[in-house]
Structure 1
Amino acid sequence: MRSQPSLLLLLALICFALFAAASQWRANTPAPVTPVVEGRVVIAAPVLLVLFGGDRFLAANLETMRLAATGVDWGQADTGYLIRAQQVVAELNPCHEDNYYLANGLLTWGGADREGSEVLRRASSCRFWDELPPFFYGFNRFFFDHDVDTAATYLEEAASRSTANAAGFRKFAIMLKAEQIQDEQLALEFLQGEQDQASDPKLKAMLAKRVQRLQGLVTLREAQRRFEVQSSSPLIAPDQLLESGLLAAFPEDPLKLGYEFVDGRFVLKKLKVAGMEDR
């Protein structure tokens, strides 16, 4: 009878040793890699039409819900699957609102800007009353492809469909064109012409500030040219224009951004967003 407590104590010690060994082994085991689901099946549009009795709108709706629910796993988007699925939805119903929203958010800004922009382009043609697809598409063509002409065309299209945002869209398109003009005097004349032609008071007021801002740049560059002719030496610091009497004061920027003297030349100061300067 006396040996029974000893046996139980020995068994408890063995169990504790096994538990400690298992805990130590688990602590030294690398964490499992988060599974990423790849190769999801995307059914072709003609097959979906057959499965849903020829109702392309129903097929597009259900496919959009499926990709919205399964396109992101463990915080990671399955871009390949989303590209295929959203292209199928755009083929079934290019007017689908959720599809172009998802395409712009998950594809365009997720590394597949060309595929996302193509969904937006098709939505722009189909949703002739909606200002957002042409705005998104125009912005993306400028930001990712630096295609000013296409961007301005779609921004103008967005403006023609909009009421509250029309002036802002048109101003954006005009400024994109103006920034392509290297000569500041020609750019100023272009902006003044656009301001004179504008019938929207809101747009006219927006352009007036840009005209005034560009006039300030023209003033600075003209003063610099006169200084360098008179002194036969390059301008080293902006204050030299004040000291020489060529400027009584630096021009004020109505946008409150100001001007910069970079590499011996006056330029318009712009807002800088971290990570976006190289775009």
Structure 2
Amino acid sequence: MTRGLILGALLLLYALVVVPFTTYMRQRPVALKLGYTPAGEALRLVASDQRYLLAQLAVDRVLFYFGSLFTKDGHRVSTPPEYFNMFATMQSALKLDPYNMDAYYFTEAAFTWELKRIREVNNMLDYGMKYRTWDAQLPFYAGFNAAYFSKDYRTASLYMQKAAELSGNPLYTTLASRYFYEAGQSALGITFLRAMEQSAKDAKVKKIYQVRRKALEGITVISDALNRFREARHTLPPDLKTLVREGFLSRIPEDPYGGTFYLDSKGKVVSSSKLAGKQ
């Protein structure tokens, strides 16, 4: 009898996390659906010792859903992502299991570069630091977000200092010093993207970081050539082809997102793709 009750409770909990509400889903117009996940606090009340399993099921569901939104080459399919539901599901998962690294990693990957939800992501990372007290990755992520996206170098240096103390990694020590000012934003971004790419376990997430890194590397190559031209000629070139024609650039790098790099009206290197996957 007791075993039957436990089994029934587990099936009910699984349904709450994995199976979306039928009425809610019928109202959704998109073909690929993630759906709604109950709040983590509510699930934790009934999950008991199974909360870690339920947390991982919720995370895996989001990873599967997110992977279905991208082609093999890292470009987005036409289905609008359910970003709100993805974030809410990760929040619920972390209420069940605040030690689940997959949830923190995915949140960093999915909600910073395109959505720029830096405050929300760093709040989640701060939450994780209270539990994963040994982990240098969480302050590393938060420090990068503060520096690269928010330009809050003081906060970034504090996060990086914490990452350095936890890991002893000289990279974090460098970033905790004046790296942000001396190396520039592009170098910081490339360093971070390479680290994320190398640590990614999911092939599609790894590809997304790889494409972003290559795009940023292309911008950096052009920007360096642009600076050399400006120092030599004391003016901006009319277009990027001038940099190639006059020997400052061997060739214009390809935008891995499928667009074309060009100079905007302010002389900044941008791309027609806006460095986002094809919608």
TM-score normalised by length of structure 1: 0.48
Work out which of the two has the higher radius of gyration on C-alpha atoms and give 1 or 2: 1
TM-score normalised by length of structure 2: 0.48
Q: Relative contact order, CA 8 A, sep 6+: which one is greater?
A: 2
